[in-house]
């Protein structure tokens, strides 16, 4: 195994498959996913993951109903390359494979951190929009707010700003999950 070399661009999925560690590949550009996120980031990720999973089960959409929540690192293969959202929900079992998720999930969640906030707010927003991911929740633990974007006519529109402790309506409004 090796690491991406700075002079070589654009990278391909074949290149990505040879790399050590955790990497995202977006439009031929490699993004190192190390070091691991902070403990506060991981605690928030785990809390949201559990809340989403519990709500999926309560709504009858859980694993038996087709929907499953996954936490990073889970590889998501899109036309642009490979991404690893902090959390994602997939309701189509055909998108699950031995290597990860094949195609757009139903929901992605990114928890901002100083090192990745710019990529999450701009580059990944456009990647997720172009891939046709119906909902994108951006969680800012420093500002204690969430931004829910929903795909409308191929473009993300702001569906809501959610304050810490407030409820966010996910998956087209069918799940209500406490933020924070």
Question: What does the pLDDT look like over 110-144, one tens digit per residue?
Answer: 999 988 899 999 999 999 999 999 999 999 999 99
Q: Is residue 163 part of a domain?
A: yes
Residue with token string 């494979």 = 97
Number of domains in the chain: 1
Tell me which residue range forms the domain holding 155. Answer: 37-178
- Beta-strand runs (E) in 33-128: 68-71, 76-78, 81-83, 87-90, 96-97, 100-102, 107-111
Order of all β-strands in the sheet with 29-32: 29-32, 23-26, 81-83, 76-78, 100-102, 96-97
Q: Is residue 55 part of a domain?
A: yes
Instruction: Residue 64: give its domain's CATH number.
Output: 3.90.1570.10
Task: Provide the CB-side half-sphere exposure for 9 (13 A, CA).
Answer: 9
Confidence band, pLDDT 50/70/90 cuts, at residue 12: very high
Q: Is residue 22 part of a domain?
A: no
Q: Is residue 71 part of a domain?
A: yes
Q: Is residue 18 part of a domain?
A: no
Lowest-confidence region among 19-23, 48-52, 84-88: 19-23
Q: Is residue 75 part of a domain?
A: yes
Q: Is residue 5 part of a domain?
A: no
Q: What is the pTM of this model?
A: 0.92
Determine whether 14 is exposed, middle or buried from the number of CB atoms within 10 Å of its CB (0-12, 13-18, 19+): exposed
3 state SS of 62:
coil
Confidence band, pLDDT 50/70/90 cuts, at residue 6: low
What percentage of the chain exceeds 90 in pLDDT?
A: 83
pLDDT at 156 over 90: yes
Q: Is residue 9 part of a domain?
A: no
Query: Mean pLDDT throughout 50-58?
Result: 95
pLDDT at 62 over 80: no
């Amino acid at each position: 195994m090796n690491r991406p070399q700075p002079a070589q661009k654009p990278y391909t999925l074949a290149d990505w498959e040879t790399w050590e560690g955790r990497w995202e590949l977006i439009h031929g550009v490699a993004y190192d996913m190390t070091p691991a996120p902070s403990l506060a980031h991981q605690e928030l990720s785990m809390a949201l993951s559990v809340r989403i999973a519990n709500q999926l089960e309560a709504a009858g959409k859980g694993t038996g109903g087709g929907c499953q929540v996954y936490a990073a690192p889970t590889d998501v293969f899109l036309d642009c390359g490979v991404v690893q959202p902090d959390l994602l929900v997939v309701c189509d079992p055909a998108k699950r494979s031995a290597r990860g998720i094949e195609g757009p999930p139903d929901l992605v969640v990114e928890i901002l951190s100083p090192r990745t906030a710019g990529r999450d707010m701009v580059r990944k927003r456009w990647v997720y929009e172009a891939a046709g991911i119906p909902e994108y929740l951006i969680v800012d633990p420093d500002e204690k707010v969430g931004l829910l974007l929903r795909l409308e006519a191929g473009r993300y529109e702001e569906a809501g700003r959610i304050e810490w402790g407030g409820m966010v309506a996910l998956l087209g409004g069918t799940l209500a999950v406490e933020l924070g």
